[in-house]
Structure formats: structure tokens, C-alpha cells
Structure 1
Amino acid sequence: MAQPRRHFAVHYLLFRFLGLGWWHHPDEQDLRNFFGFYLYYAIITQVVWVIGFVGLESLDPFIGEKDMDRFMFSLAFVVTHDLTLIKIFIFFFSNRKIQEIVRTLDVDIHRFYQNNEMNDRTVRVTRILTGTFLVFGWLTIANTDAYGITQDIKWKAEISGYNSSEDIPPRTLPQPIYIPWSYQSNFSYILTFLLETIGLLWTGHIVMTLDSFIASVILHMSNQFAILQEAFTTAYSRSIADLSEHLTADRDTLDLTSQLLDEDNEETIRKYYTEKQIESAIESTLLNCFRQHQLLIRCVEDFAKTYSYGFMTQLLSSTAAICTVMVQLSQDASSFKSVRLVTSLAFFAAMVTQLAIQCFTASELTAQAGLVSEAVMHSNWERMPARLRRLLILTMMRAQRPLQLSAAGFVILNNECFLAPELEPDQWKFLLFLPDKF
């Protein structure tokens, strides 16, 4: 099968459009990230749709009088979008490091044993994950717009019965955001509505693309550890098969019959090769496995170090979303029937899904890396010389030391992190800003 390339093609296109850098496929040998007019495009898009839009969101909870329901709803978006700036910062200033990690998974690792069927399956899974995540985001934003349109229709129906001497209630937007100009007229309202929708779409796509990309990278690393397990398991048989192929190529010289070169022909191999030659062939295969293992370990460690604060950001933003929605529900039980609650729950589900994807993929990575030790046990080590067995023992010892992704050392990302009913008391210190009632 042809060597698969461009595992992250969809993400690269989205990154370029969103102004997060001109991401290059590893086989292009192009290191430009912000060149020519694209630099100005990136600056404009980030200033307008990220700094500008998120800045207006951040002002809203603290401008004017706000009821608790709107304050908590607005605060959830403010905290999550402000923390997202940390992710964008990482992608801007660690662009080269992340691309080096991707190059390892996309190109460098293919110098060693590979299973292209498993690679292709992982690519399909990551693309389905990305597409599903984007559609879910579109539905969430569409629900927000539907809520805004419904509220505006109700507002128009309400003010139709007012006379000129009565105070008309202010017109509201679907998303709590501070607007420094008047948008009460139809024309201004439509333009402001479009501005808010585009801002939500832009920031939403940034969040969804970054998170799905990170999850895809983790899945590809997990897949490579699964392939490494297969490499160790088949190392002995592949070495014998390679020697058999050499014999087949020289069968005229050696005057061998095809019957002697049937499968499971280890006895035939030992007739024509010395123990030293067989040991050398097995050693060569195992050395490739050892190098592949070390390359993957360095890749995971570099990734864990580069994106550590990105994981911390996700943990904080998801926790903030969960807490603020719970506060909303505690304020008024009748809010279960409100349209606003639907938007809150959709946002809540999105944040939980983001955290779940990263925790579950990180847990899978740790599990697959640990299974390398078990694969070594099934590598026919008993047929290998003592010198090679010692090397296998060292590999097992390294594989038993878990490879984990952490949120800046705060917690380890795994299934337990996502499913745990509560964290340790000292791990909740960052939640002290929440109201006492919560």
C-alpha cells in the first residue's frame, strides 16, 4: 500500500482560513508560517474576530445592572473564550514545534515498520471526529441564533401594543455582548446580529478546530504505539521471513526446491545460515523497533511539554462552564422551560465533549504505550540470544513507565480525570471566585 500522507489536511485548511498560520504538510518542505500578505490577514482576523469580539464579550458581565441568570450565562462564555486565547497563543508561538511533532507522525515514523491499513483507519476516524465536532458547533450556534430571532419576534409583538408615551423595553441580542453603539433600529440590529453571528462562528471554529486537531494528534500517536506492538510481536518472524526471501532469490545457486522454502521454514534457514547471521538479522529488526519506540516517546514528551497549558485551559474552561450552568439551574427551577436554558445546555454539552475527547484520547495513548511491554512478551524472545533478551527487558521496563499527558502538572488527563466525582480539595482552589450559594 502507498505510504499515507497529509493526515491533517482538513485541519491545515481551516488553520489557514482562520488566520492561525500557513500550516504546511510535512512533505512540502516549506517552513513559512506568516509570509507576505498572509501576515496582515492573520493580524486583521485575530484583532477583529478574536480580540475585538472576545473583548466585547468580556465587558458585558460588568457593564450595567445584570440579573444573576444573565450574569452567569455571560460569564461562562467570557471565561471559556478568554481562556481560549491561551490556546491561540500556543499555536502562534509554538507553531514550529507543533509542526515538528506532526512531521514525526506524518513522515519520520514511516522509516520504520508500519501498518498502512491502521493508519488509514485512524485518518478516517479523525476526519469523522472533526466533521462531527464542527456540525455540533454549527447546531449550537444555530440554536443561539434561533433563540435570538424568537426573542426579537416576541419583542416586536410586545411593543406593537405600546403607545408613544410608554417606555419601550430594550431590544436584546441572542448572545450577551457589550455593544458600544445603538442597535435598536432594524438596520442597525440586523448588522449587529450578523456581526455577533460571524464572531461566534469564527471563535467557535477556532475552538473546535484546535481541539479536534489536538485530539487527532493524540489518536495518531496512540495508533503508532499500536503499530509498534505489532512490530515487536512480529519481529522474530519477519527476520526469518527476510532471510527466507534471500534464499528464494538465490535458490538457483543453492539448488533448493520450493518445498524446502515452504512457510515455517526455520529449520531450512538454519541449514544455510550460521547462528551469528540469524542473530544479526534479528538484532537488526529489533534495533529498528527500539528506535521506533524511542522516537515515539520523544514525540509524546515534546507534545506533552508544548501543549501542557492548552490542556490546563481546557480543564479550566470546561469546569467554568459546568459550574455556571449549575448555578443557573439552582437560581430558578422554572428555567427548565426557558429557551435560554437550551442554549446553556448546548454550550454545557460542548464543553463537556471537548474535555471528554481530550481525556479519553489521552487515556488511550497511555494504555497503548503501556501495552508495548506486553507485546515484547509475545515477541518469541525465548528463541533469541541472551544478549537480545537483555535489550528487550530494558524496553519492557521503559514501556512500564507510563506516558501521560497532564494539564500543566495539575492533573493527569485520563478517564479517571473526566469521570471522577470530585477532585482533591487543594485542586479546587481555582474555583474560589464562584458565588457562595454554589
Structure 2
Amino acid sequence: MYKYLRIPYFSFRVIGINLWAQQDQRITSAPCRYYSWTLATAIIIILMGFYIYTSDQDKAIQVLTVFLQGVLCIIKSGMFVAKGRRFIKLIRNLDALADAATVKEWSEWRHENDWQQCIVRVYYICCTSTGTLYCTVPAVILLYSQCFREHTVFILPFDAAFPLDTGHLFFYTVSYLWCISFIIYAIHAITAMDSLFCWFIFNISAHFRTLQHELQNVAKTSADVEDSACLHSKITETLHYHRRIIELSAEFDELYAPIVFIEISVSYLKLCFSAYNLINLGDISGLPVIAVGLVTITFQLCNYCFSGEKLKSVSKVVSDRIYLAFSWERVPPPLRRLLILPLMRAQRATNLTGFLFVVDHSLLVWIFKTTGSIIGFLSATKSENTTS
């Protein structure tokens, strides 16, 4: 039996290892590595903050994208670690609910799993490509200047107020490796947490689709079975299954609401700053990094917004399935009253929220619309500073 959707491998990296360390003793050293990376990331975020404070607008905005990414990693990973037991409990409950399902047709589960794995792989490739460009472009510029120019150009993946003299080769190497460790942490942490989020969405969606198959099977048997007690029992089991899915969906939304709020808010600012940097690009060597980073941020926002829309739409389809599956003129009145409860319950969509907003297509459209306004405001501020 195809028990449940496979949890992506990336979810076991960095943050995931803290959640799964209770089950696998072979990774007991993982928390130490995670805390070391977190400390190094927090220090370099503080250094970037000092640099942003003491720089002009264009230089500050160039660093703000990386700075916000580091802040996002620290906050999201802290929330995951703080709520680790609740996440493990939710995963086990979803797994137990999948084992309890009595559906013979598991094509929907395989379909959801294939989509989930494909999205996670593409997302991991985007994040890895962005991090690779951040690491390799300065090295290429350094080698080119050393071979074809008189003066060697020491460029780091991103600027920060390093306490070391980065013009010296040794300290430049130390700072460069420090930046690379930050980038590796950001790639693995963000990919792990977002892939686990994707696993939850597609797993809950698979449960809703399984529920639709259950309703169709009950409707088919209702036409052949004359024993109302047997039919009442089957409908009651299906209603309990529906109620359990809604409960787990509400628990998932409660766990992810603060994470989604931070994710959407920070990613929205990152999108604005990346687009501004692309428009006001001065050095052509930074074009690949900014362009691929902009694609990754857009993919990240689309992943959350489309996942919220998917959860909303698949939960609302249940009411249509209930209404269309049964021949109401043949259903006894007691069973009709019993079916009215899930029919009314399914008309209320299961939403993914971020405290102040509902995550769906409309939120993504609003983000793209207001991004232009933010870029126009930053450009106007730059013009005023230049004029004065």
C-alpha cells in the first residue's frame, strides 16, 4: 500500500535533523553542526546590519536582499526548532490517518507525490544555482583580475562590516569562507523548511482527494444497499474522516501561520529590493546573481501562494462531490440530514493564513502589483538624494 507521500530528502537537512534526531541516533552530531552554523550566520547578519546602516541607499539595498535572507533563515529555523515536537506529532497523525484510510484506488496519492517531488527538486535547483553564483562569481572576477589586470580585485560574495582587512589575502580567504558557510546554511535551511511545508500541503490535499473517492464509493453502494443501518455506518465513517482532515488542516495552519507571515513579508521585501537592484545595475558581472536570485524569490512566493490556493480549492470541491455523488431522491430522510452536516462544513474553505492575510492567488497578484510601487518609491528617493 502506498502509505503516505515521501518526505523530501532536503527536509532532513539542517533544520529537519533536529526534528528527526529523536528517531535516528546516527545523526546525533547534527544539532551541534546546526547551532554552529546558526551562530556564524547570526554574527555575519549583525555585520551586514552595520554595513547597511553606514552605507548609501544603493549599497544598502544591494546588501539588504542577502541580509533579509539571513534573518529569514534564523527566524524560521528558530520557529521550527521551538515547535519541533508539534511538527513530529502532526506528521505522525497524518501518517496514521493515511494508514486508516480504506481506499483501494491510490492513484491520487501517487499523483500528489510525483508533483511534490518535482516541485521540491526544481526549488532546490533554483536555490543551489543562486548560492553557487554568489560563491563563484567573485572567485572568477578575482582570477580574471589576477591574470589579465595589474591590480588584483578582492570581491566578496556580499558586503559586510567585517572586522578583518579583506584587502589582505589571508583575511580575504577567511571572510570568503565565512560567506560561503552562510550561503550553504541559507540554501539547506530554506530548502528543508519549504520542502517540508510542501509535503504537508500535498499530503493534506491527498487526504481530501481520498475523501472524494470515499464519497463516490459510498454513493455507489447506496444505490445497491437497502440496509439503511449499513449505509448509515459507512457515511458516519466518511464523516469522521472528513472531520479529522479538517482538524489536522487547522493544526497545520496554526503551526505555520507565524512562519507564513514572516516568509511572505520578508520575501516580498526581497523581491522589491532584487528588482530594484536589477533595474539600477551598475556592474554587468552582478547580472547572473541578481537574475537567478530574483527567479528563486519569485518561485518561493509562488510555492506558498499556489499551495494555499491548492488547499483552499481541494477542500471546497468536497461539497460539490457530496451534492453530485448522491441521488437525493433515493436517499432516506435520516441519511439526508446526516449528509447536510458535511455539505455545510465543506462549503467553508480550508485556508492557509498568515495572521493578517489569506495565502492564495489574490495575495500573489497583490504582491506583484505593489512591487512596482515600492520600486518607484525607492527610485524617487534616489533621485531626491542625487538632486540634493
TM-score (normalised: structure 2): 0.86
Residue equivalent to 1:72 = 61
In the TM superposition, residue 327 of structure 1 has moved relative to its aligned partner by 3.0
Instruction: Say whether residues 1:45 and 2:37 are aligned partners.
Output: yes
In structure 1, what is the Cα distance between the partners aligned to 2:279 and 2:186?
29
Residue equivalent to 1:298 = 247
- Match among 169, 184, 187 for residue 186 of structure 1: 169
SS in 1 for 2:13: helix
Superimposed CA distance per residue, residues 332-351 of structure 1 (whole angstroms, 9 cap, x where no aligned partner): 6xx4x712133122222211
> Percent identity, aligned pairs only?
17
- Match among 113, 118, 121 for residue 108 of structure 2: 118
Matched-pair contact (CA < 8 Å) for 2:3–2:98 = no
Residue equivalent to 2:381 = 437
Instruction: Say whether residues 1:150 and 2:140 are aligned partners.
Output: yes
Residue equivalent to 2:203 = 220
Matched-pair contact (CA < 8 Å) for 2:11–2:195 = no
Instruction: Say whether residues 1:172 and 2:155 are aligned partners.
Output: yes
In the TM superposition, residue 32 of structure 1 has moved relative to its aligned partner by 8.8
Residue equivalent to 2:348 = 401
Residue equivalent to 1:10 = 9
Matched-pair contact (CA < 8 Å) for 1:73–1:344 = no
* Residues 36 and 84 of structure 1: CA distance in aligned 2, closer, same or farther (over 3 Å): closer
In structure 2, what is the Cα distance between the partners aligned to 1:54 and 1:20?
23
Residue equivalent to 1:236 = 219
In the TM superposition, residue 67 of structure 1 has moved relative to its aligned partner by 4.5
Residue equivalent to 2:97 = 108
In structure 1, what is the Cα distance between the partners aligned to 2:139 and 2:170?
15
Matched-pair contact (CA < 8 Å) for 1:109–1:292 = no
SS in 1 for 2:20: coil
Matched-pair contact (CA < 8 Å) for 1:230–1:375 = no
In structure 2, what is the Cα distance between the partners aligned to 1:36 and 1:60?
37
Matched-pair contact (CA < 8 Å) for 1:234–1:379 = no
- Match among 327, 345, 350 for residue 296 of structure 2: 350
- Match among 45, 53, 67 for residue 54 of structure 1: 45
SS in 2 for 1:178: coil
SS in 2 for 1:21: helix
- Match among 402, 408, 411 for residue 357 of structure 2: 411
* Residues 208 and 58 of structure 1: CA distance in aligned 2, closer, same or farther (over 3 Å): farther
Residue equivalent to 1:257 = none
Matched-pair contact (CA < 8 Å) for 2:52–2:63 = yes
* Residues 326 and 203 of structure 1: CA distance in aligned 2, closer, same or farther (over 3 Å): closer
Equivalent position amino acid for 1:418 in 2: L
Matched-pair contact (CA < 8 Å) for 1:236–1:282 = no
- Tell which deviates more after alignment, 391-400 or 128-137: 128-137
In the TM superposition, residue 121 of structure 1 has moved relative to its aligned partner by 2.7
Matched-pair contact (CA < 8 Å) for 1:4–1:120 = no
* Residues 5 and 380 of structure 1: CA distance in aligned 2, closer, same or farther (over 3 Å): closer
- Match among 314, 332, 340 for residue 286 of structure 2: 340
Matched-pair contact (CA < 8 Å) for 2:218–2:234 = yes
In the TM superposition, residue 380 of structure 1 has moved relative to its aligned partner by 2.2
SS in 1 for 2:354: coil
Bigger Rg, structure 1 or 2: 1
In the TM superposition, residue 78 of structure 1 has moved relative to its aligned partner by 1.1
Q: CA RMSD in A?
A: 3.1
Residue equivalent to 1:379 = 325
SS in 2 for 1:107: helix
In structure 1, what is the Cα distance between the partners aligned to 2:53 and 2:100?
56
Superimposed CA distance per residue, residues 356-413 of structure 1 (whole angstroms, 9 cap, x where no aligned partner): 01100110110010000011013324232211111111111110012111112x2111
Residue equivalent to 2:125 = 135
SS in 2 for 1:307: helix
Query: Which structure 2 segments of 5+ residues have no match?
Result: 383-388
In structure 2, what is the Cα distance between the partners aligned to 1:136 and 1:309?
25
In the TM superposition, residue 10 of structure 1 has moved relative to its aligned partner by 1.4
TM-score (normalised: structure 1): 0.77
Identify the structure with the greater helix proportion.
2
- What does 1:317-328 align with in structure 2 at a 5 Å threshold? 317-328=266-277
In the TM superposition, residue 37 of structure 1 has moved relative to its aligned partner by 5.3
- Match among 239, 245, 262 for residue 313 of structure 1: 262
Equivalent position amino acid for 1:306 in 2: L
